[in-house]
Amino acid sequence: MSAEMTPRERWLAVLKGEKPDRIPMDYWATPEATEKLMAYLGCGTEQELYRRLRIDKVMEVGPRYIGPSLPPDEDAFGIRYRDIGYGSGVYRECIYHPLARFTTVEEIEAEYRWPSPDWYDYSHIPRQVEGLGDEYPIRGGGSEPFLTYCQLRGLQQAMLDLILYPEIVHYCLDQLFDLSYVNTLRILEQIPGRVMLTYVAEDMGSQEGLLFSPDHIREYLLPRMRRIVDLSHEAGAYVFHHNDGAIREIIPDLIDLGIDILNPIQWRCRGMGREGLKADFGDELVFHGAVDNQQTLVFGSPEDVRREVRENIEILGAGGGYIIAPCHNIQAVSPPENIVAMYEAGYEYGQS
């Protein structure tokens, strides 16, 4: 009998198209959901929770902010936030968009100061991975600049900008992607060869289709994302791409871009059926997620959850290329017994 793999070895086997001892299982959840689950299982630490549920947790590294002093509830971009309660937890919502009033690039250049990569300290990153050895996958760097752009301009204005103010979009995205590129480069330089995954994300889909046109995605996002993808691959890292919703139309472009892992696989969205995704793209992508937390994890029974996990393994995991995880952050409304059922089923049915 072969020795049990570490979480890192399990992830690497899937990424390389090899056979792991079992399918890896990842964990995404809100703090409230994690606290509720830990209490249910009697776990004192998150590490104990991961061991209990056999979760192959990814460890994240990143810099520390050392730049100019910031007002309370404001980030380095001048974006302000407020905690908004929703009954079972709290989200930080953006309430001030510092670039909302500008109509020209010249106005932004004259009045706005972009964050500098030098506002961040990377020297502690080697200490972040001390003691991990080769046991865990490590994630560091990447980009999600259009999300920041929407917070800088406001969501409605950001969408209008794609047509009304393309010069502002191009200018701002250049600034944001340049910052992401340098951030990623400096992380990779601190721990050469240790970063397994970079997080190159952008939400492009709604429940029914793309949020904006493929032409706009190809004009504004993909060429800039390619720089981060190429940098990641040159450093020996794989690209983990998060992209919500009904995005099937743009998946071939993402494959051409060079992404390695596609998350979160919201298979109830239009065009995102698991069988079709596996048939059309399974030879070129690793699928991550797909356990539905809009319906199954929230409203289903433990047996419903077990059935869905088994289906995901049979469909998305056929021949390899699948990592079990919720299709987004587990919310506190999901019963703990359903979450436990997900990981117990993943361990039972995911054995090689």
Full set of structural domains in the chain with CATH: 1-58+237-352 (no CATH), 62-195+197-220 (3.20.20.210)
Give the pLDDT band of residue 299 (cuts 50, 70, 90).
Answer: very high
Q: Is the pLDDT of residue 168 over 90?
A: yes
Tell me which of 92-96, 130-134, 312-316 is least confident.
Answer: 130-134
What SS3 class is residue 161? helix
Q: What is the pLDDT of residue 2?
A: 60
Q: What is the pLDDT of residue 132?
A: 78
Q: What is the pLDDT of residues 90-100, one digit of tens each?
A: 889 999 999 99
Q: Which residue has the tokens 């409304």?
A: 333
Q: Which residue has the tokens 């049979």?
A: 314
Across the chain, mean pLDDT equals: 96
CB 142 within 8 A of CB 198: yes
Give the pLDDT band of residue 133 (cuts 50, 70, 90).
Answer: confident
The angle subtended at Cα 78 by Cα 77 and Cα 82, nearest 5°, is: 115
Q: What is the pLDDT of residue 225?
A: 97
Average pLDDT of span 339-347: 98
Q: What is the pLDDT of residues 195-233, one digit of tens each?
A: 999 999 999 999 999 999 999 999 999 999 999 999 999
Q: Is the pLDDT of residue 281 over 80?
A: yes
Average pLDDT of span 235-242: 98
Average pLDDT of span 302-311: 98
Q: What is the pLDDT of residue 1?
A: 39
Give the pLDDT band of residue 166 (cuts 50, 70, 90).
Answer: very high
Q: Is the pLDDT of residue 264 over 90?
A: yes
Q: How far is residue 45's CA from residue 37's CA, in Å, rounded to a whole number?
A: 11
Q: How far is residue 182's CA from residue 186's CA, in Å, rounded to a whole number?
A: 6
Q: How far is residue 294's CA from residue 299's CA, in Å, rounded to a whole number?
A: 8
Pairing of strands 286-291, 322-326: parallel
- pTM, entire model: 0.96
Question: In the chain, what are the helix, strand and coil shares in percent, each to the nearest 5?
Answer: 45, 15, 40
Q: Is the pLDDT of residue 131 over 90?
A: no
185 closest CA partner among 129, 143, 133, 136: 143
Average pLDDT of span 165-175: 98
Q: How far is residue 84's CA from residue 74's CA, in Å, rounded to a whole number?
A: 15
**Residue 122: which region, alpha, beta or left (left: phi > 0; alpha: psi -120 to 50)?**
alpha
Give the pLDDT band of residue 282 (cuts 50, 70, 90).
Answer: very high
Q: How far is residue 176's CA from residue 184's CA, in Å, rounded to a whole number?
A: 12
Reading the block at residue 309, the tokens are 């996990």
The enclosing H or E element of 146 equals helix 145-153
Q: What is the pLDDT of residue 87?
A: 82
Q: How far is residue 126's CA from residue 193's CA, in Å, rounded to a whole number?
A: 12
Q: What is the pLDDT of residue 352?
A: 77
- Residue 136's CB: how many other CB atoms inside 10 A? 18
Reading the block at residue 67, the tokens are 């730049």
Q: Alpha helix (H) ranges present in 154-273?
A: 155-164, 166-190, 214-216, 222-234, 251-257
Reading the block at residue 191, the tokens are 């721990």
- Residue 183's CB: how many other CB atoms inside 10 A? 20
Q: What is the pLDDT of residue 277?
A: 98
The DSSP code sequence of 230-258 is HHHHHTT-EEEEE--SS-GGGHHHHHHHT
Average pLDDT of span 119-140: 92
Q: How far is residue 310's CA from residue 341's CA, in Å, rounded to a whole number?
A: 11
